């Protein structure tokens, strides 16, 4: 793969990167590292995939440790759900928007035309890559400070753990409380090019006739959607 320079003026990009540093509360000493963290795999072989892998893990751990301290009475399952609500793609994409990360992204020409700078998955991945880069440059404590800064509002106003149960968990609990068998999920179809994958999954209750379909940009999302439809159908039927 050959490095492709973004069609955005590189002076603008450098300015965007500096502004990003300010909003992030962390100024990179190593411009090459920052550039790598902002580079999507569509733009260059020297991209942010490895940094994203590292950043995902340091983010997960920092949030885990913060929740452990802040919620001394929460059971493991509640901590797990709270964490999932904080580190999910949607939350990270929101944080990316407050950082105006879209303007600093380095994308290949195809992704630029697709408007990928607004795509939640790319924005979320880049937040993780930036955290991985901060860890590389300055270690755990510096990264922790940045994470706690970015999540300060959300950690100060944690939702009720019950409210953030996903649809598959709620469906499972609903069925178990009624002595029914666990739902089965199957992938019905997978289509679309890489930037616009579309999955359809089915949720079936093996001890009944109910089948619901769900869709989404990933298999898990399609399953969650199917579970939500099933829950609605079951609770409306028994209401």
Positions that interact with its own copies (CB under 8 A): 49-50, 52-54, 57-58, 60-61, 64-65, 68, 74-76, 79-80, 132, 135-136, 140-141, 182, 184-187, 190
Give CA angle at 232 (231, 234), nearest 5°.
Answer: 65
Paired with 204 in beta bridges are 184, 211
* Known catalytic membership, residue 56: yes
| Least distance in angstroms from the C-beta of 63 to its own copies | 9
Paired with 213 in beta bridges are 202
Burial class (CB in 10 A: 0-12, 13-18, 19+), 9: exposed
Active-site entry in 56, 78, 111, 125: 56
How far apart are the C-alpha atoms of 228 and 219, rounded to whole Å? 14
Nearer to its own copies, 19 or 188 (CB): 188
Nearest to residue 51, comparing CAs of 147, 139, 125, 141?
Answer: 125
Paired with 212 in beta bridges are 203
Number of other residues whose CB lies within 10 A of the CB of residue 158? 17
Nearer to its own copies, 16 or 128 (CB): 128
Nearer to its own copies, 62 or 91 (CB): 62
| Least distance in angstroms from the C-beta of 187 to its own copies | 5
| Least distance in angstroms from the C-beta of 13 to its own copies | 24
How far apart are the C-alpha atoms of 155 and 229, rounded to whole Å? 30
Nearer to its own copies, 89 or 103 (CB): 89
| Least distance in angstroms from the C-beta of 51 to its own copies | 9
| Least distance in angstroms from the C-beta of 7 to its own copies | 26
Nearest to residue 229, comparing CAs of 206, 207, 200?
Answer: 200
Active-site entry in 78, 111, 125, 128: 128
Nearer to its own copies, 3 or 15 (CB): 3
Nearest to residue 26, comparing CAs of 183, 103, 133?
Answer: 133
Nearest to residue 151, comparing CAs of 78, 84, 92?
Answer: 92
As annotated, the active-site residues are 56, 128
């Amino acid at each position: 793969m050959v490095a492709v320079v973004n069609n955005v003026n590189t002076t603008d990009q450098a300015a965007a990167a500096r502004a990003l540093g300010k909003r992030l509360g962390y100024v990179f000493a190593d411009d090459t590292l920052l550039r790598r963290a902002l580079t999507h795999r569509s733009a260059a072989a020297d991209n942010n995939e490895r940094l994203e892998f590292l950043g995902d893990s340091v983010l997960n751990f920092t949030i885990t440790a913060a929740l452990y301290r802040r919620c001394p009475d929460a059971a493991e399952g509640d901590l797990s759900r709270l964490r999932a609500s904080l580190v999910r793609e949607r939350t990270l994409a929101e944080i990316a928007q407050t950082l105006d990360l879209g303007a600093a992204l380095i994308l290949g020409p195809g992704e630029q035309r697709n408007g990928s700078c607004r795509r939640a998955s790319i924005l979320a991945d880049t937040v993780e890559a930036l955290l991985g880069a901060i860890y590389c440059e300055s270690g755990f404590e510096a990264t922790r400070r940045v994470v706690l800064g970015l999540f300060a509002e959300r950690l100060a106003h944690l939702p009720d753990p019950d409210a953030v149960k996903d649809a598959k968990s709620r469906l499972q609990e609903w069925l178990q409380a009624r002595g029914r068998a666990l739902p089965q999920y199957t992938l019905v179809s997978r289509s679309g090019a890489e930037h616009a994958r579309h999955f359809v999954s089915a949720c079936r209750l093996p001890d009944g006739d109910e089948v619901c379909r769900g869709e989404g940009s990933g298999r898990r999302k399609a399953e969650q959607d199917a579970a939500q439809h099933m829950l609605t159908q079951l609770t409306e039927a028994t209401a």
